[in-house]
Amino acid sequence: MCKEFTCIVCPVSCTLNVSKEGEEIIVKGNNCKRGKVFGENEYKSPKRILTTTVKVEESCHKALPVISSDEIPKEKMFECVEQLYKMTVKAPIKKGEIIIKNILNTGVDIVASRSLKQI
Amino acid sequence: MDIVVIGGGPAGLAAAIEAKKHNVKEVMIIERDIELGGILQQCIHDGFGLHRFGKRLSGCEYAENFIEGVESEEDIIVKLKTIVIEITKDKTIYAMNEEEGMMEIHSKAIILAMGCRERTRSQVFIWGTRPSGVLTAGTVQRYINMEGYLPGKKAVILGSGDIGLIMARRMTLEGIKVEGVYEVMDSPGGLTRNISQCLKDYNIPMHLSTTVVKIHGNKKLEGVTIAQVDKDKKPIKGTEKYIECDLLVLAVGLIPENELSRQMEINIDPRTKGPIVDENFMTSIEGVFAAGNVVTVFDLVDYVSETGEIAARGAAKYLKGDLDLSSDYQDIIPGDNVNFIVPQKIRKQNLEDKLPIYFRVKQPLKKVTVVGEIEGQKCLKKKHVVVLPPEMIVEEIDCEKIKDKNEMLKISVKVG
């Protein structure tokens, strides 16, 4: 089966045609190596970086921005977000501080993407 | 003061740090928000800093790298919650804040780094009532990402620029149902990869050649009427459709914020809507520089920081008396397919080894060559696989090739 994707690695935004012949995944339409890797992953199991916020107390802001330390399987996005919305953290927070380790057993951590002082 | 930087966003932060690196003694940043970082603090999504840091950072991570830089410089004075109300031609700044009241600050050089502002409902002329729930994409972004407040349950997005697309994904993750993105033009305003990762990933439909023609609701937004448009962007009768929603998100473009620049009668370029600048990003007033989105709306923050640094180096030289301020300017003019170029003019005596130029094309083109010509000779030739209007092009001109030329420099984008 041939699938069509837009490569999101860089702004050229190549249209990729990805198919499987036997065990081999064939990527067509890419202009670079990174596009080939993206096409293969997108065919096997699409992954994305997750950025969202969690509630924070004792800070001048009400939300702490967080980012995943690596890409997370696309179908687990909403489940991850749900888990993050249930929690509340307290300032002070340092950028890079782990908020949830190994979220949903993906092997990926959720970390703070900024520092927040305590008030 | 030696240098006062107006605005503590990415351009201002980079400018202040660079000024210190060039041994400028008294540097001050004036910022109206409660913290430094500017709009980056509400940009929690990733994709920032690919050029500068070699990885995809979130906006706040990118900002924090620079804020740390400012804090590690011992004596950069930072005035937060302070608004500049006027700057005069002799470089006197009138500013105020809650604690100190009115301030009069004299500075030898000024770097304008006020950034840009979103276009609002009144600038796109939408008919109807004036209920709550009609917000710009940036306002929604601030509410959700910083203030932890969801401004609606069901949203319609007008405009398909990147901010609109980013917010479509963000609102969906937050449980706001995004009914669709409507774009008056016949092609999307944002990058294809953002359409893919922000809309397609979440099954959000995009409707081209369609716009919002009426807003309904008294106190609170109840719905909008959308309609398809013809070639002249006029709504087509009979295509109107009512959509129930409690949030209309406007992502209809950005304009450089130049009230202060206009007040001090700096020359503004009608195409960029920002000050006309030279090779050091100096404006038409000597000693007043401009950097970042106040000059033109850049699409990468990396470029914004870069221009802050160019302006700071220029200002440092100006303070030392190392800038040639008397020679005639040579213009840099847009040729085929080029919409505008920054800087608009140069004094070649002030050039370093390389002159970076920033420009946009008028239409999408494939397999092109960027050509720079001066006095009939080529000083720049660079091939591109694809060029798009939403993607700013940055090239460097080898100054060796223009140093003995006195006429204007023309930049064109030619197919082939």
pTM of the full structure: 0.93
Token couple for B287: 């000693």
Q: Does A88 touch chain B (CB under 8 A)?
A: no
Task: List CB contacts (< 8 A) between A3 and chain B.
Answer: none
Q: Per-residue pLDDT for A3 more than 90?
A: no
Report pLDDT for A9.
80
Contacts of A66 in chain B (CB under 8 A): 44
B144 contact residues in A (CB cutoff 8 A): 53, 63
Q: Collect all residues of chain B within an 8 Å Cβ-Cβ radius of residue A49.
A: 46, 56
Is B140's Cβ below 8 Å from some Cβ in A?
no
CB pair distance less than 8 Å for B196 and A5: yes
The stretch B234-263 carries a mean pLDDT of 96
Cβ of A95 within 8 Å of Cβ of B191? The answer is no
Q: Does A22 touch chain B (CB under 8 A)?
A: no
When pLDDT is cut at 50, 70 and 90, the band that residue B18 belongs to is very high
| Beta-bridge partners for B92 | B106
Distance CA B272, CA B80 (A): 29
pLDDT tens digits along A45-104: 899 999 999 999 999 999 999 999 999 999 999 999 999 999 999 999 999 999 999 999
Higher pLDDT, B6 or B49: B6
- Residue of B46, B64, B191 with shortest CB distance to A67: B46
Query: Minimal CA–CA distance to B198: which of B178, B226, B182?
Result: B178
Q: What is the tens place of the pLDDT at every residue in B91-113? A: 999 999 999 999 999 999 999 99
The pLDDT value recorded for residue B51 is 82
Split at pLDDT 50, 70, 90, the class of B390 is: confident
**Residue B149: strand, helix, or coil:** coil
The predicted-structure confidence for B263-284, as pLDDT tens digits, reads as follows: 999 999 999 999 999 999 999 9
**Residue B45 contacts A, CB cutoff 8 Å:** yes
**pLDDT score, position B118:** 95
pLDDT for B321:
96
> pLDDT at residue B150 above 70?
yes
Q: Which chain B residue's Cα is nearest to A4? A: B196
Nearest chain B residue (CA) to A53: B145
Q: How many CB pairs under 8 A join A and B?
A: 81
pLDDT in tens, B161-186: 889 999 999 999 999 999 999 999 99
Structure token pair of residue B32: 């109206």
Is residue A98 within 8 Å of A57, Cβ to Cβ? no
As for the ipTM of the complex, it is 0.91
Q: Quick one: which of B271, B115, B291, B134 has its CA closest to B214?
A: B134
With CA atoms as reference, report the closest residue to B336 among B377, B387, B397: B387
**Per-residue pLDDT, B122:** 85
Per mean pLDDT, which range of B219-228, B315-324, B348-357 is the poorest? B348-357
Q: Which two tokens stand for residue B31?
A: 């910022």
Does the pLDDT at position A11 exceed 70? no
- Report the residue from B44, B193, B201 with minimal CB separation from A65: B44
Q: How far is CA B373 from CA A62, B70, B380, B396, in A?
A: 54, 40, 7, 13
pLDDT mean over A13-35: 88
pLDDT of residue B73: 85
**Does the beta carbon of A20 lie under 8 angstroms from any beta carbon of chain B?**
no
Q: Residue A7's closest chain B neighbor by CA? A: B193
User: Maximum CA pair distance of chain A?
Assistant: 60
Q: Do B196 and A114 touch (CB under 8 A)?
A: no
> Would you state the pLDDT for residue A1?
75
Which chain A residue is nearest to residue B202, measuring alpha carbons? Answer: A74
Mean pLDDT of the residues in chain B: 94
Q: Is the peptide bond before B343 cis (omega within 30 degrees of 0)?
A: yes
Which residues 53-82 of chain A have a CB within 8 Å of chain B? Answer: 53, 55, 60-63, 65-67, 74, 77-78, 81
* Nearest CB neighbour to A63, from listed B57, B145, B191: B145
Asked whether the predicted pLDDT for residue A13 surpasses 80, the reply is no
- The answer to whether B343 and B277 are in contact (CB under 8 A) is yes
- Tell me, yes or no, if B201 comes closer than 8 A to chain A by beta carbon: yes
Q: Across residues B65-74, what is the average pLDDT?
A: 92
Answer for the pair B275, B294: CB distance below 8 angstroms, yes or no: yes
Residue B60 near chain A (CB below 8 Å): yes
Contacts of B393 in chain A (CB under 8 A): none
Tell me how close the Cα of B35 comes to any Cα of chain A, in angstroms.
Answer: 10
What pLDDT does B389 receive? 84
Give the torsion sign (CA, B315, B302, B295, B73). Answer: negative
